[in-house]
Structure 1
Amino acid sequence: MRLRFKQRQRREDDVESRLLLGASQLSWVTTLTHWVSEHGGAQLVGQALTPDDVLDADFDLLVLDGWSSLLNRRLVDQVRQDGAAVLVLVNSQRPEAEANRLRDLGVTLSLPISSSPEQIVARASEVAAVRRFTDSRPHQPQPAAKSAGTTPGHRLVVALGQDGVTEVVVSLAAAAGRFIRPTVLVDFDTVEPSIAQRLDLPIVPNLLIASDHIRQGRFDADSVISHPGGFAVIPGLANTREWDELTSVEAGELVRALRERFALSIAVVHPILEALAPLSGLEGRFDVGRRLVELADEVLVVGAGSPVGLVRILNSVADVRGISDAAVRVVVNRMPSDRFLRTEFAGELLRTFAPASLTFLPFDRGGPQGGVGRPAARPGPLREGDATYGR
């Protein structure tokens, strides 16, 4: 066996793979480590104890056993997004059950736990060869207007904030729907979704259903809700406890699908964009929002016209700038019309950050006056402002 392996190693087209092993108490880790150190054929990067160990390592193939605590859909998606692969050593006594479980986890490579080290290294070499070939192919960019199935000039606007962001994006979607067709409003806030409640929409279809339709290859008009205001809507999660059912990779796939059908996508995300530590118990809680900001063409930060609102705006801008270089537009909601106050607010903001645009939305005095048995508030300057932004 050793002689045959050495002869295979001398072939010019053979590729040495970089292996990362998931820490395990089973004997396959020790056996594979000793075999590679004696025969070669692969480079052992190390052993991973935590998800951070995996994400920080440079490897071609992550090898885990079926009982590893690292084996979850989120980590598998992140590894595949980086261009690497995951190989799982499974219990050969239950092949059908294991195959179904791995399919749900997004794993496409598996071998029986009884496989020899040479079989594992051979599979790793195949993965490395494919990856090297893919990375070495010359990139030939195509003009965006000629890309099949992509709406020319599509824009992704990501909105976040804590002071009236729902009202702002709904008004923006309605205005854009009149001037920029087609337009879709998507609630990517996995903590406090509010679009469906604000527009009195059913909870089906929603974010998870639209993502499922993409995986099944049938994302169409039934995956969104058509609103009478002239725009489409994808409501948020029906239950915020299901936040871990949508990964950042799936959120990116949904954005790509929206680019094919809409000219403008307005996405709402939660204002917290922190990358939580693995031991916090909430790892990945805000990954969807971070991914949307990474993909955004423009970021809309909404805040109130007050000292507290200014602090929140600056905090949000700092978080966005740590993730993306997209243009940041600031919208100050419920701002008094006093010119002195607006000048002071703008001056304090510009001392720290210069946004691509700064917009003050007037305080609608008719809102607090409305109520049961009272006439609706008359249309004010906000409608004209929406129409201008929509153009």
Structure 2
Amino acid sequence: MMTQVLLAVDFEYDLILFELLSDIDDVTIVARPADEVELLAHCRTGSAEVVIIGRYFPGLDAEVVAAVAATGAKVLGFGDDADALSGLGITVRVGTDVDAAALATALDDLRASTVVPPRPTAPPGPVGGQGRIIAVWGTGSSPGRTLTAVNLADQASRLGRRSVIVDADTVSGMVAATLGLTEESSHLASLCRAQSDRSVHLDGHSVPHAVVREDFHVITGLTKPERWPEIRASVLEAVLHRLARLYDLVVVDVSDRVDPDDEMADPFYDRHCATRAALEAADVVLVLAAGEPIGLQRLVKLLGTPRAEELREKVRLVITKLRPGAVGHPPEARIREVLNRFVRVTPDYVLSDDRATADAAMLAGKTLHEQNPRSLLCQEIAAMAEDLLPGRKRRQGSRPGRSRVRL
């Protein structure tokens, strides 16, 4: 029986292996992909039984290996570093000094083998530990996602909870700029690479991050939108759950975009899969909308989408930038009337429009509390943080100045 083989090794060994395989009877080389995108495209056609993968093949990581195995193809590692290949999930390998006879034997043994799922690295149970993951999502028209996310994490840390904010905005990540950080490298990219390498152990000390205060950390995002395809959805989800075992609160700042930029494009280049991954991993999704006509109109449309319906059980609705000049007086009553009329929901939280404090904080690279702890907006976010912290029950009463009804 002819063995269909995909040859996915780095350039240095490609020709050597090609010649070795050509000398083996009953072996056909289906393709020699240039990178992981071509490799996965070929695997998904089901045309190969065995994929020979080199340690330094372009774009290779543990997720790529898992995706190859998920197509039903069997993987034969090629390289001398057994530990590195094992860390990628490759358990069967041949060395770089292999000859045609040994390679033929390895292929026969692999074809005859039964694939056994790897042993779980953790016992069964809820994935996320004790920490809570909160994704700050919402409509377009700049409802203040980053401002809310940064100050939510800041206020949680001031309440004695170890907090981290993750910048996963695939359009315009601004967490570092908001906090006056000058980090040029992406902590999130480094963290995802470490997560993909199973030989790397991540703990509270080895997680790449910037420190604002002892209990308030920042994981910066990618500065260039075109780099977001580097962040795989499954890896990002795993990273967020890992962080939830290290922090009491993980706040994820995401863009409003959830769908691919081009539905006809290769799904590998779907940068907004990061947004979907964050929403999927989150325990709570804060949906923000500006308290103005355009913002409310966009909120009504968003709440009518299948995505919002899927997330309904963990959505908390937040109206931001509340001011009488935008919707009339009294502004909160007007907004509640509109939302009840069109989508039959009421906001969980309402945040005032305090542009003076927000602008001054942004200019100085400070949080709202650092700029003006007496600001009404600062106090409202503090109350929201207290309400959302893990281990606390949502209060059914009203807090000063605001009445709340659950979404």
TM-score w.r.t. structure 1 length? 0.66
Q: Which amino acid counterpart does residue 175 of structure 2 have in structure 1?
A: I
The change in CA–CA distance for 1:109 and 1:309 in structure 2 (over 3 A counts) is: farther
Q: Distance in 2 between matches of 1:197 and 1:339?
A: 35
Gapped regions of structure 1 (runs ≥ 5):
3-18, 34-48
Tell me if the contact between 1:86 and 1:107 (Cα under 8 Å) persists in the aligned partners.
no
What SS does the corresponding residue of 2:295 show, helix, strand or coil?
helix
Instruction: Tell me the alpha carbon deviations over residues 125-156 of structure 1, each in whole angstroms, 9 at most, x when there is no partner.
Output: 5343x13x979xxx9845x6xx9xx753x211
The change in CA–CA distance for 1:384 and 1:378 in structure 2 (over 3 A counts) is: closer
The change in CA–CA distance for 1:201 and 1:116 in structure 2 (over 3 A counts) is: closer
Instruction: Tell me the alpha carbon deviations over residues 235-256 of structure 1, each in whole angstroms, 9 at most, x when there is no partner.
Output: 1124444323322232123113
Question: Are 2:292 and 1:297 equivalent residues in the alignment?
Answer: no
TM-superposed deviation, 1:282: 6.4
Q: Distance in 2 between matches of 1:62 and 1:386?
A: 55
The change in CA–CA distance for 1:378 and 1:155 in structure 2 (over 3 A counts) is: closer
Tell me if the contact between 2:353 and 2:377 (Cα under 8 Å) persists in the aligned partners.
no
1:380 aligned residue: 375
- For the aligned residue pairs, the C-alpha RMSD in angstroms reads 4.8
Q: Distance in 2 between matches of 1:78 and 1:278?
A: 25
1:363 aligned residue: 353
Please point out which of 134, 146, 155 is paired with 1:166: 146
Q: Distance in 1 between matches of 2:27 and 2:346?
A: 55
Instruction: Tell me the alpha carbon deviations over residues 37-91 of structure 1, each in whole angstroms, 9 at most, x when there is no partner.
Output: xxxxxxxxxxxx995796798x9x9644669xx985487266279696652587x
1:321 aligned residue: 308
Please point out which of 75, 79, 86 is paired with 2:67: 79
Q: Which amino acid counterpart does residue 126 of structure 1 have in structure 2?
A: S
1:245 aligned residue: 230
Question: Are 2:191 and 1:210 equivalent residues in the alignment?
Answer: yes
What SS does the corresponding residue of 1:279 show, helix, strand or coil?
coil
What SS does the corresponding residue of 1:261 show, helix, strand or coil?
coil
Gapped regions of structure 2 (runs ≥ 5):
9-17, 29-37, 364-370, 387-407
Q: Which amino acid counterpart does residue 313 of structure 1 have in structure 2?
A: L
Q: Distance in 2 between matches of 1:362 and 1:274?
A: 30
Instruction: Tell me the alpha carbon deviations over residues 273-292 of structure 1, each in whole angstroms, 9 at most, x when there is no partner.
Output: 11454635862311222111
Tell me if the contact between 1:333 and 1:362 (Cα under 8 Å) persists in the aligned partners.
yes
1:267 aligned residue: 252
Please point out which of 298, 303, 322 is paired with 1:335: 322
1:13 aligned residue: none
Q: Distance in 2 between matches of 1:81 and 1:125?
A: 16
The change in CA–CA distance for 1:377 and 1:296 in structure 2 (over 3 A counts) is: closer
Instruction: Tell me the alpha carbon deviations over residues 289-347 of structure 1, each in whole angstroms, 9 at most, x when there is no partner.
Output: 21111111111111211232124334544363366455111212112244554344334
TM-superposed deviation, 1:196: 0.4
Q: Distance in 1 between matches of 2:357 and 2:236?
A: 35
Q: Which amino acid counterpart does residue 237 of structure 1 have in structure 2?
A: L
Q: Structure 2 matches for 1:1-391, cutoff 5 A?
A: 63-64=50-51, 73=60, 76=64, 79=67, 87=75, 109=92, 120=107, 122-124=109-111, 126-128=113-115, 130-131=116-117, 141-142=124-125, 151-152=129-130, 154-161=131-138, 162=140, 163=142, 164-203=144-183, 204=185, 206-214=187-195, 215=197, 216-221=200-205, 223-228=208-213, 230-275=215-260, 277=263, 279-280=265-266, 283-317=269-303, 318=305, 320-321=307-308, 324=311, 326-337=313-324, 338-339=328-329, 341-351=331-341, 353=343, 357-364=347-354, 366=356, 379-391=374-386
The change in CA–CA distance for 1:78 and 1:243 in structure 2 (over 3 A counts) is: farther
1:11 aligned residue: none
Identity %: 19
The change in CA–CA distance for 1:305 and 1:79 in structure 2 (over 3 A counts) is: same
Count of residue correspondences: 336
Q: Distance in 1 between matches of 2:343 and 2:104?
A: 56
TM-superposed deviation, 1:210: 2.8
Q: Distance in 2 between matches of 1:56 and 1:314?
A: 41
Tell me if the contact between 1:180 and 1:263 (Cα under 8 Å) persists in the aligned partners.
no
TM-superposed deviation, 1:172: 0.9
